[in-house]
Amino acid sequence: MPSRRSRRPNVALRVLTVLIVLLIGIWLGGHPSWLPAPLRNAFVDKGDNPLVNQVVDLLQRDYYRPINGNQLVNKGLAGMVASLDDPYSHYYDPSAYQGFLNQSNPHLSGVGIDVIGEPRGLRVEDVFPGSPAAAAGLAKGDVIIAVGGTSLASRPATFGSRLIKGRAGTHVTLTIMRGSQKRVVKLVRANLVVPEANGTIVNYHGIKLGSLALYGFTDGSGAELRAEVEKVLHAGARGLILDLRENPGGLLNEAVNVASIFIPDGTIVSTDGRAQPRQVYVAKGGAIPTSIPMVVLVDRGTASAAEIVTGALQDRGRAKVIGTRTYGKGVFQEIEPLPNGGALDFTVGEYFTPSGHNLGGGGVREGAGIRPNIYAAATPGATHDTALAVAERTVAAEVR
């Protein structure tokens, strides 16, 4: 057994060795060019690009007029992502990312309308129940031609939308065209919760059907739709119509939640990416009885998570698909917040329906999408929704 005294030289030698290694490491950290290439690549931080920093410094110092370094970096990052030639990948600077978060938040301040741009201004596509717009009598098809004294003619839709939105409790004046009649309404903005799902009872030749509309796949939309499904079933619906027309998609996990309302078990969708292993998402349980027939309404605007749900219902034989072919997006994205307050929204993988089908055209290219079991197209501007009529007739025929 060695004595305690005999151990002291060994301890001192180890401490000295550690100090020497530490000093060498500090020195090499300041002189990375002395490292062999493999070690330099492994240990030197590539995030601090000296070439980029040099260009930014030169422009800030010597360009003929003052420039903002942050703007240079933001535009450079946007250009870098744009060079991927991927329509689904974007760089959001801090201001744009905040706007994106506000759009994704169902709690908004405004008057409670959904609009799209047209040459005269903004055409109202939907009016939310209980909103200031509903109380003022605004209706689908109305055209907002001015906000206050500002004309919206030939303006981008975002321009008018920004003027209409505002802090709860403040006033906004809208000039509305309904047919050839013009009127001016003054509204008080309010805090609103924008609904993502809606369910109503339709009576088709004495058969009660539940007509369900889902507008997007934001956080909690699956639970919203489930509540609407339960509401129409409690009201006596014997068949269901799930309307996913013009639904641009959203969160992958909400697509799984929505499909799980109707599919009791098994695969909903699978994903595969270069940096992440293949993953299979299965139904979460708690589905309504499969004896309740249903159909899905789709069109060219049905995309992404909405296509995932449609593909799962079609592949698993749970529902007939009615309408026109869907958008044809076969990839999904993730959002990575950045230290500057911005974010990178970029494509990280592809998804596949239960039968193994990818709906895209290979990578980020648009594909064939989902082809309906029954083709039915709504006529633009028509007072009668022909595609919905086909859906009602089809599901009513399956009611037992």
Give domain limits for the chain.
Answer: 40-78, 108-193, 197-396
Asked whether the predicted pLDDT for residue 39 surpasses 70, the reply is no
Pick 197-396's CATH classification: 3.90.226.10, 3.80.30.10, 1.10.10.10, 3.20.20.140.
Answer: 3.90.226.10
Burial label, 256 (beta-carbon count in 10 A; 0-12, 13-18, 19+): buried
pLDDT for res 109: 64
Catalytic-labelled residue, pool 93, 299, 304, 320: 304
In this predicted structure, the answer to whether residue 9 has a pLDDT above a threshold of 70 is no
Quote the pLDDT of residue 54.
87
Give the residue-averaged pLDDT of 56-69: 88
Q: Is the pLDDT of residue 396 over 50?
A: yes
> Do 308 and 268 contact (CB within 8 A), yes or no?
yes
> To 5 degrees, how large is the angle CA 67–CA 73–CA 76?
110
pLDDT of residue 1: 39
User: Is a pLDDT exceeding 60 seen at residue 185?
Assistant: yes
Spatial distance between the Cα atoms of 217 and 234, rounded to a whole number of angstroms: 24
Helices (H), 121-204: 132-135, 157-164
**Residue 248: both structure tokens together:** 């641009």
What is the average pLDDT across 245-269?
95
Options 329, 345, 355, 385, the catalytic residue = 329
For residue 378, the 8-state DSSP code is P
Q: Please tell me the predicted confidence (pLDDT) of residue 40.
A: 45
Mean pLDDT over each residue of the chain, to the nearest integer: 86
Kindly report the pTM of this predicted structure.
0.73
Contact 257, 311 (CB under 8 A): no
**DSSP string of 190-259, one letter each residue:** EEEE--SEEEEEEEETTEEEEEEEE--B-TTHHHHHHHHHHHHHHTT-SEEEEE-TT---B-HHHHHHHH
Q: How far apart are CA 357 and CA 327, in angstroms?
A: 15
Is 2.30.42.10 the CATH classification of the domain at 108-193? yes
pLDDT for residue 158: 75
pLDDT digits (tens, 9 = 90+) for 265-312: 999 999 999 888 899 999 999 999 999 999 999 999 999 999 999 999
- In 3D space, the residue among 356, 346, 360, 393 whose CA is nearest the CA of residue 374 turns out to be 393
Q: Which of 364, 214, 365, 196 is nearest to 298 (CA)?
A: 214
Residue 361: what pLDDT? 86
SS (H, E, C) 53-103: HHHHHHHHHHCCCCCCHHHHHHHHHHHHHHCCCCCCCEEECHHHHHHHHHH
Residue 315 a catalytic site member? yes
320 is catalytic: no
With b meaning 16 or more CB within 10 Å and e meaning fewer, what string describes 239-254? bbbbbbbbbebbbbeb
d(CA 106, CA 221): 10
